[in-house]
Each structure stands twice: as structure tokens, then as C-alpha cells.
Amino acid sequence: MSLTVLGIDVSPELLAQWVDWLAPDEQPFFVTPEQAAAWSLQGSDRPLTRNERDTFLVYDVDSAATVAVWLNEGQFTELAPAVRAQLVRAQASYERGAVPTVRRWQHLLGPELRRQADGHRFVWWKSILTDHAAEVLPAVVSEYLGPSRHTEVNRWPASLPRAQELAGTFPPFSGPNCFGTVMAAAGVEGADITWMLREPFETWLAENTTPGGRDDQPGTVFVWRATDDGRVNHAAITLGDGWMLHKPSQSWWTPRKVRTVAEVRRSKRDVGQRLFRRTLTR
């Protein structure tokens, strides 16, 4: 039986993958060298996968927490209760991802959640998550995103041959991003499963679009650039009739979704960015 998340069908296979990505068998805990020494924790240089980078928001972790300690559930549980409490509290303080509040989930997961760490925060393990995946994962994925409105689109433009296929789908892993989604919608083979960097996207823009465009016509590429250095930060493409296709980020939980042009513009009103338009020419 499939779930519907953000207006998108999620198969049992994809849900099982989400469980693995939100609660991997080993997860990184970030601490300062002083904390690692005080708590007798051993750091590791093990590289992170893209899924792990996004799950744990590694790019947002405080730069003071330079030691990554990898623990499985057994190793975590064997830590002294006081160390577990301080360790989990530190993850929340350093802004590591996947450190939810007990208050948010206790009604579903039970009062024992308070005993995992400091009573206020906890980390996901499969032992907690597996039996409640169908309730937890849709809530986690939907927390900051509006639904995809692809079922409301009446006409799909021939100039964007893969737009309908891509709209209302989740990626198979972290990496596929807004740039690749725009390029794939326009017919670039493999772009939908690629971590598309700025340079190849800029090359594609220069070779396949011209400046300007109309919001109500298909094939207008919206490009948000940083006002300080002009680097491209986000992109989306119009479908016509007021609709737009975009992918909010490169993470495994953000789908390729359809929203109105106005909705996408509102969602990207970030300080330090300026919107430019270009029209697809081929």
C-alpha cells in the first residue's frame, strides 16, 4: 500500500529507503576536541555520503565541532546516561540535523523517549522508527514544504518533454537538485539524477536560453542569483498557465514539484538574492 506525501505517491520501497536515510545504522555526532576528550569519544575521518550530509545538515554544523564520532545504536546506548544527555544536547546546540524534540513525538513513540538522552531531545534509530515509519516519515518530509500541485495542471508543454514525467516525484537519493530538474524538464538526458553543479548549469543556460521571459508562458527559466557575487543559487521553469516546476533543494526529501509561479516566488524571497528570467530557445 502506497502513502501519499506532499500530494505524491510514495511506494513501500521508497519508504524503506527513507527509514535507512533518516536512521542509518551508524550516525555522526559532532563535538569539539575538548568534549571528545572529556567524554572518551573517538573521532573518525570516515567520509559522509550525500544522503548523510543532508540528513544531518552537516553544512550547517557549528565550525567549532570539528570531531565527528560515528556510533551505532549499541555503542550509543552503552554510553553513560550523563554522556548521552550531553552528547545529544550538543548536537542540537551545534545545529546538526535529525535531533527532534521529545515533546513533538512522545504522543506517538511513548514516554520512554525521554529516557534516551536529556529528556528534551533525541536521535532517530531504526528501533524507534521502523514500526512508526508510515506516521513519522510523511510528517518529517512535509514539515517545511507545501504539496506538489501537479494533478491540477491541465496542459503540459511540448517544449518541456519530461516535465510531466518528473512532476510529483521524489529523487532516488540526495544530489538531484533544482538545476538538474530544470535541465531534465527541457530534455537533457540524466540531468534529473545528477548533482548538477553551477558551472554546467551556467553553460546550459548560455547555450539554450536568451535573456527575458514571460511568467505566463512555458519555458521561462527563473534564475536566482546572489546580489554580492552573481552566483546562481536556485532555478525553476514555467509550465504555462501560471504553473512552475522546481525542486527546493538537493536533499532526498525534497520532491520535484509543481507550484504556482507566485508560490515559488514567495518561497524564494531570501535576502541577498535577485531574480532573473531567461527564455528557453531549444
Domains of the chain with CATH codes: 24-123 (no CATH), 150-280 (3.90.1720)
Q: Is residue 2 predicted with pLDDT exceeding 80?
A: no
Q: Read off the pLDDT of each residue in 243-262 and give the average, rounded to a whole number.
A: 97
96, 125, 164, 185 from 130: Cα distances, Å: 22, 8, 33, 35
Minimal CA–CA distance to 21: which of 270, 265, 253?
A: 253
Confidence check: pLDDT of 232 > 90: yes
Residue 1: band (very low, low, confident or very high) from pLDDT cuts 50, 70, 90: low
pLDDT band for position 282 (cuts 50, 70, 90): confident
Cα three-residue angle 153-159-160, rounded to 5 degrees: 60
Q: What average pLDDT does the segment 257-268 reach?
A: 95
pLDDT, position 270: 82
Report yes or no: 40 and 82 within 8 Å, Cβ to Cβ: no
pLDDT class for 15, splitting at 50, 70, 90?
A: very high
pLDDT at 21 over 90: yes
Residue 67 has phi, psi (to 5 degrees) of -105, 125
Asked whether the predicted pLDDT for residue 108 surpasses 70, the reply is yes
Give the pLDDT of residue 77.
97
Counting residues of the chain whose pLDDT is more than 70, the rounded percentage is 100
Give the mean model confidence (pLDDT) for residues 172-192. Answer: 97
Tell me: pLDDT of 271 over 90. no
Residue 190, φ and ψ in degrees, nearest 5: 80, -5
pTM: 0.93
